């Protein structure tokens, strides 16, 4: 799960990491007021779940409160399109108004879990303010790594190593080391999947502070962080994905094709997408129905398909293991009772309780195209979108 | 022969009294697995499906000599369950539970360091040595005893693969689902080593997916150490980059995470790539014919 920059900075601050003074505004008038309080010279930053804001015009510098008001008015209420968003962009409903900072150096600092090493790793670089993946590609020697043993936590010597290797001056080493230790404390305490400060700046006064911040959280750990979960801004997410989530379908990703896919298992769901593409079609979504054996979940998946105007055929491919085919079949029948489904339905069933499942579908009288295996299902669903089978 | 589980496996089930736990324990028993104990704290002394229930893993091992554990405990408590089993000295733990926080798994991996316990999963379908023993949630009936080993990050795609093999008359020595999490207890390399050493495994099928570098590490091992033929498929070639496809492991981050890169690495290691997920079985058949 993602949160906004202003929320991330509030958390950094809570963990003792210095951030620029600022506040969030939802109207130009608020932006003006905040700018006046900060002395007039401010940065106006669009609050969206996407990187690349600067190049896309989402960050502007103002010299007076009046200018802040005007610039905030140009950003608020628009949709920002960056290289990380779709062509529709994401809505800007809030801007962060922040004191202008005189920058001497821009550094990079982040923590992620290095899955191959099964431990968190702190990444630091002198090449801050840039896309770190680009830095990794072009000059990997500029990326410094310190692995963090969960049993011993982040140690001061690791901070000193990074600080001296980034050529900080001696007076900056201790504050930098403290900042790194605090970032790890935050990462650990809040079950982050990413804690990134880019850039981490040294000001012309020699101070060190987080000029931008990005925090992502482990979805599987949100159950123990209800205060973090509340920060989730659903406006920033795809509306169909939000609806799917509200209906208890959390493994749904909207894609741009026209075949609604209901599959059990993430790997199989991806393989079905691959097969649809090979058969000349285009999936409307990725959907792993998961292993919760719940008839309503299947009904809700059909609700999502019928809400998506692009869907021209529905493909159900279930190979029951933990998921039981009979329950999926009951869900398909129940969906037809509750919703009007106009598009052709292709069904392929196999695995746990398959005979019961097939029996339920046959008895129901529902019209569907039966497929013998998953390639057959993919092929028939592609044909169905073209009206070639029914 | 087979790897990890066989007729000598004595299984205990942690979370046996839950819905999924009892349903799948029943299926394992029907398949012929010797389920000797169940664990549910507070329900010790009772019986489920004819299996005695204990409060702790330690007590169950003392009474039954169990040598493998299958875990269905909910995600919030699963890490604790894994460590309890490891503490009791169980050599094989199979954790079916999905959705365990990454930070919990870091604690688990730290705990397992230096112990003799092997962890399969979490977020996995388990494993089966057809005709001998099933420790997992896969439908037993689709399998056939034989000489092809299967190792996979995806549960249901493993079922598809096995169904294809069985329909072509190609049996399996052991099928291992290592799970879709980013930090599995056992990796492709761990399982490939066992298949390479197993006398009765003639060839191996490897099912990968986008995200991480497990397939690249497997490719390196295959190139350097494996003499048996390997057939592979990597799911997610058409997944849009930057999106997480259900499995926490399936995040494309950087170029090494794409299906194309993984398939290229495997091809360079001499692995035969199945052109589509529907052609895994037929590809194995061809490879077996050329190697016989």
Give the B window 262-291 contacts with A, CB below 8 Å.
276-278
Give the B window 14-43 contacts with A, CB below 8 Å.
19-20, 24, 27
Higher pLDDT, A342 or B51: B51
CB contact under 8 A, B276 and A267: no
Ordered by where they begin, the domains of chain B are 10-120 (3.40.50.720), 138-290 (3.40.50.261)
DSSP character at residue B138: S
Residue B291's pLDDT band (cuts 50, 70, 90): confident
Calculate the average pLDDT of chain A.
92
Residues A172, A206, single domain; the answer is: yes
Contact partners, residue A198, CB within 8 Å, separation at least 6: A108, A109, A110, A128, A129, A132, A212, A214
Question: Do the beta carbons of residue B112 and residue B185 sit within 8 Å?
Answer: yes
- What are the catalytic residues of A? 108, 196
Q: What is the mean pLDDT of residues A201-224?
A: 95
Cβ of residue A245 closer than 8 Å to a chain B Cβ: no
The residue range of the domain holding A204 is 1-20+101-237
Residues A180, A131, single domain; the answer is: yes
CB contact under 8 A, B98 and A291: yes
Cα distance from B125 to chain A (closest Cα, Å)? 8
A217: left (phi over 0), alpha (psi -120 to 50) or beta: beta
pLDDT digits (tens, 9 = 90+) for A105-125: 999 999 999 888 899 999 999
Q: Select from B75, B209, B250 the Cβ nearest to the Cβ of A220.
A: B75
Cβ of residue B241 closer than 8 Å to a chain A Cβ: no
- Which of these ranges, A349-363, B137-151, B238-252, has the smallest mean pLDDT? B238-252
Residue A193: list chain B partners with CB under 8 A: 102
Residue A62's pLDDT band (cuts 50, 70, 90): very high
Q: Select from B105, B138, B157 the Cβ nearest to the Cβ of A271.
A: B157
**Quick check: is A198 in a domain?**
yes
Residues A134, A231, single domain; the answer is: yes
Beta bridge partners of A144: A124
Residues A13, A160, single domain; the answer is: yes
Residue A322: list chain B partners with CB under 8 A: 20, 24, 96, 125, 137, 155
pLDDT over threshold 60, residue B242: no
Cα distance from A266 to chain B (closest Cα, Å)? 5
CA atoms within 13 A on the CB side of A360: 19
CA distances from B279 to A348, B184, B270 (A): 17, 27, 18
Domain boundary among A237, A272, A299: A237
Structure pTM?
0.91
Residue A390's pLDDT band (cuts 50, 70, 90): low
CB contact under 8 A, B159 and A218: no
CA distance B140 to A61: 65
CA distance B241 to A120: 24
Residues A181, A222, single domain; the answer is: yes
The token duo for B32 is 């012929």
**Quick check: is A207 in a domain?**
yes
CA distance B163 to B182: 26
pLDDT over threshold 70, residue B256: no
Residues A268, A335, single domain; the answer is: yes
Tally the domains of chain A. 3
**Quick check: is A390 in a domain?**
no
Query: Which residue, among B207, B215, B246, B274, would best test binding to A if mutated, counting the most A CBs under 10 Å from its CB?
Result: B246
Residues A357, A346, single domain; the answer is: yes
The one catalytic residue in B24, B109, B143, B247 is: B247
CB contact under 8 A, B277 and A352: no
Q: 3-state SS of chain B: helix, strand, coil percent to 5?
A: 40, 25, 40
Cβ of residue A191 closer than 8 Å to a chain B Cβ: yes
Residues A316, A376, single domain; the answer is: yes
Residues A183, A222, single domain; the answer is: yes
Residue A263: list chain B partners with CB under 8 A: 156
Give the B window 107-166 contacts with A, CB below 8 Å.
107, 109-110, 125, 137-139, 142, 152-160, 163
Give the A window 308-347 contacts with B, CB below 8 Å.
319-322
CA atoms within 13 A on the CB side of A105: 15
Q: Is the bond into A199 cis (omega within 30 degrees of 0)?
A: yes
Beta bridge partners of B230: B204
Size of interface A-B (CB pairs under 8 A): 165
pLDDT digits (tens, 9 = 90+) for B88-147: 999 999 999 999 999 999 999 999 999 999 999 999 999 999 999 999 999 899 999 999
The CATH number linked to A256 is: 3.40.50.261
The pLDDT of residue A115 is: 85
The pLDDT of residue B241 is: 64
**Quick check: is A170 in a domain?**
yes
CB contact under 8 A, B277 and A263: no
Question: Do the beta carbons of residue A118 and residue B106 sit within 8 Å?
Answer: yes
**Quick check: is A63 in a domain?**
yes
Cβ of residue B218 closer than 8 Å to a chain A Cβ: no
pLDDT over threshold 50, residue B249: no
Residues A6, A155, single domain; the answer is: yes
Question: Do the beta carbons of residue A337 and residue A283 sit within 8 Å?
Answer: no
Contact partners, residue B28, CB within 8 Å, separation at least 6: B11, B35, B70, B134, B135, B136
Question: Do the beta carbons of residue A297 and residue A290 sit within 8 Å?
Answer: yes
- Which of these ranges, A151-155, A222-226, B38-42, B250-254, has the smallest mean pLDDT? B250-254
CA distance B65 to B56: 13
CA atoms within 13 A on the CB side of A168: 26
Residues A204, A331, single domain; the answer is: no
Residue B40's pLDDT band (cuts 50, 70, 90): very high
**Quick check: is A168 in a domain?**
yes
CA B61 to chain centre: 23
The token duo for A297 is 């979940």
Complex-level ipTM: 0.88
pLDDT over threshold 50, residue B252: no
CA distance A214 to A111: 11
Q: B227: helix, coil or strand?
A: coil
**Quick check: is A316 in a domain?**
yes
Residue A248's pLDDT band (cuts 50, 70, 90): confident
The CATH number linked to A67 is: 3.30.1490.20
pLDDT digits (tens, 9 = 90+) for A180-205: 999 999 999 999 999 999 999 999 99
CB contact under 8 A, B245 and A291: no
Residue B125: list chain A partners with CB under 8 A: 321-322
Domain boundary among A237, A267, A295: A237
A263 phi/psi in degrees, rounded to 5: -135, 150
**Quick check: is A61 in a domain?**
yes
pLDDT over threshold 60, residue B248: no
Highest mean pLDDT among A149-153, A342-346, B81-85, B210-214: B81-85
Residue B257's pLDDT band (cuts 50, 70, 90): confident
Domain boundary among A67, A100, A133: A100
CB contact under 8 A, B212 and A136: no
Residues A192, A248, single domain; the answer is: no
Q: What is the mean pLDDT of residues B39-45?
A: 94
């Amino acid at each position: 799960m993602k949160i906004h920059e202003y929320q991330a900075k509030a958390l950094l601050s809570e963990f003792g990491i210095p951030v620029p003074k600022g506040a969030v505004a939802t109207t130009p008038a608020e932006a003006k007021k905040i700018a006046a309080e900060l002395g007039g010279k401010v940065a106006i930053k669009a609050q969206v779940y996407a990187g690349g804001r600067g190049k896309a015009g989402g960050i502007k510098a103002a010299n007076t409160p009046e200018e802040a008001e005007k610039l905030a008015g140009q950003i608020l209420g628009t949709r920002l399109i960056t290289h990380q968003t779709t062509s529709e962009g994401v809505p800007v409903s809030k801007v962060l108004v922040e004191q202008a900072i005189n920058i001497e150096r821009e550094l990079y600092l982040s923590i992620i879990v290095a899955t191959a090493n099964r431990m968190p790793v702190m990444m630091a670089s002198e090449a801050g303010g840039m896309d770190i993946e680009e830095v990794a590609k072009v000059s990997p020697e500029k990326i410094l790594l310190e692995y963090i043993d969960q049993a011993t936590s982040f140690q001061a010597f690791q901070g000193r190593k990074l600080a001296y290797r980034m050529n900080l001056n001696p007076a900056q080493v201790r504050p930098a080391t403290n900042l790194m230790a605090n970032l790890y404390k935050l990462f650990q305490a809040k079950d982050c999947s990413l804690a990134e400060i880019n850039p981490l700046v040294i000001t012309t006064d020699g101070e060190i502070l987080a000029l931008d911040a990005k925090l992502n959280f482990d979805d599987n750990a949100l159950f123990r962080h209800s205060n973090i979960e509340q920060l989730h801004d659903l406006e920033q997410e795809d509306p169909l994905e939000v609806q799917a989530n509200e209906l208890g379908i959390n493994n749904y990703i909207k894609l741009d094709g026209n075949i609604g896919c209901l599959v059990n298992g993430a790997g199989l769901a991806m393989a079905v997408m691959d097969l649809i593409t090979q058969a000349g079609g285009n999936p409307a979504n990725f959907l792993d129905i998961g292993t919760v054996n719940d008839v309503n979940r299947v009904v809700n998946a059909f609700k999502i398909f019928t809400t998506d105007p692009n869907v021209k055929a529905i493909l159900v491919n279930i190979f029951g293991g933990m998921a039981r085919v009979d329950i999926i079949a009951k869900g398909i029948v129940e969906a037809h009772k509750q919703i009007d489904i106009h598009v052709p339905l292709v069904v392929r069933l196999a695995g746990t309780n398959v005979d019961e499942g097939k029996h339920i579908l046959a008895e129901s009288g529902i019209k569907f195209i039966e497929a013998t295996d998953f390639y057959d299902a993919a092929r028939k669903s592609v044909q169905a979108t073209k009206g070639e089978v029914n | 022969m087979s790897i990890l589980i066989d007729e000598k496996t004595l299984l205990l089930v942690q979370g046996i009294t839950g819905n999924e736990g009892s349903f799948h324990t029943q299926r394992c028993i029907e398949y012929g697995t010797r389920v000797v104990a169940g664990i549910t704290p507070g329900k010790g002394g009772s019986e489920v499906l004819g299996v005695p229930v204990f409060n702790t893993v330690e007590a169950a091992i003392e009474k039954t000599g169990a040598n493998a554990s299958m875990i269905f405990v909910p995600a919030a408590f699963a890490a604790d369950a894994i460590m309890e089993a490891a503490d009791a000295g169980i050599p094989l733990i199979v954790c079916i539970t999905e959705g365990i926080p990454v930070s919990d798994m870091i604690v688990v991996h730290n705990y397992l360091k230096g112990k003799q316990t092997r962890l399969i999963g979490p977020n996995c379908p388990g494993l089966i040595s057809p005709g001998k023993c099933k420790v997992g949630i896969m439908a037993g009936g689709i399998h056939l005893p034989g000489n092809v080993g299967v190792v996979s990050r995806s549960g249901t795609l493993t079922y598809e693969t096995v169904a294809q093999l069985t329909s072509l008359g190609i049996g399996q020595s052991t099928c291992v689902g290592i799970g879709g999490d980013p930090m599995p207890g056992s990796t492709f390399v761990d399982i490939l080593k066992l298949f390479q050493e197993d006398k009765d495994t003639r060839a191996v099928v490897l099912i990968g997916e986008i995200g991480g570098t497990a397939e690249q590490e497997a490719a390196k091992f295959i190139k350097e150490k494996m003499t048996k033929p390997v057939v592979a498929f990597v799911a997610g070639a058409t997944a849009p980059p930057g999106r997480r496809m259900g499995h926490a492991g399936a995040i494309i981050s950087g170029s090494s995470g794409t299906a194309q890169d993984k398939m290229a690495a495997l091809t360079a290691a001499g692995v035969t790539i199945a052109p589509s997920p529907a052609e895994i079985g037929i590809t194995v058949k061809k490879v077996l014919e050329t190697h016989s």
